[in-house]
Amino acid sequence: MTEVIPNFHPLFVHFPIALISVSAFFHLSARLLRERPRYAAHCAVLAHASLWLGALAAMPTVALGWLASNSVNHDEAGHAAMLLHRAWALVTLAVLLVLAGWDAWKHKVDATPTWPFVGAVIAAWMLVASTAWHGGELVYRHGLGVMSLPDVHVEQDESAHGEGRHAHTH
């Protein structure tokens, strides 16, 4: 597998992104549905559980990202982008752990969150989104962690592409 995926960070990275996104959605939903206690309680369970799971998933994700940063070839610009992504990831992890710890300590699993806590979770989600964007920049702008593509020469006449004049097939 290491021939295709050079490290395990890509296998873990989408779990905290998805879980914190779900958590932000259901924290907001639980608060907005507080006049309908049964629905609010269901949303709150999903909100709290996905926050806790997202924070837990972020720990191995950040650790594997740290290991990945030492295992991929990169140039100076890629290194600077990697340091920026790492800084965002460490701050985001710290915020998630504090929020999840506070939430687990202070709230029942079906408790409707307060507006300040909803705001804090949405702010944490924005940190996750920014960290993810910086990670995407590493892959899609700097090409870190991906195999190189074959060198393809683009012909001037693009209409010839569909006429079978190329030596390759799709």
Written as six digits, the tokens of 142 are 């700097």
Q: How far apart are CA 67 and CA 9, in angstroms?
A: 8
Q: For each of the chain's 170 residues, which pLDDT tens digit applies? A: 556 666 889 899 999 999 999 999 999 999 999 999 999 999 999 999 999 999 999 999 999 999 988 887 778 888 898 999 999 999 999 999 999 999 999 888 899 999 999 999 999 999 999 999 999 998 888 888 777 665 666 555 555 555 555 555 65
pLDDT at 154: 56
- Residue of 11, 126, 149, 132 whose CA lies nearest to 68: 11
Q: Which fold has domain 9-144?
A: Four Helix Bundle (Hemerythrin (Met), subunit A) (1.20.120)
Domain residue limits, the chain = 9-144
Residue among 116, 114, 118, 115 at smallest CA distance from 51: 118
- Gyration radius (Cα) of the chain, Å: 21
Distance in angstroms (rounded) separating the CA atoms of residues 66 and 80: 14
Element (H, E) at 93: helix 76-106
pLDDT computed for residue 142 by the predictor? 84
What gap in Å lies between CA 64 and CA 43, rounded to an integer?
31
Query: What count of other Cβ atoms lies within 10 Å of the Cβ of residue 26?
Result: 23
The pTM assigned to this predicted structure is 0.82
pLDDT for 166: 54
Q: Helix 37-69 vs helix 76-106: angle between axes, to the nearest 10 degrees?
A: 150
pLDDT at site 164: 54
pLDDT score for 143: 80
pLDDT at 121: 98
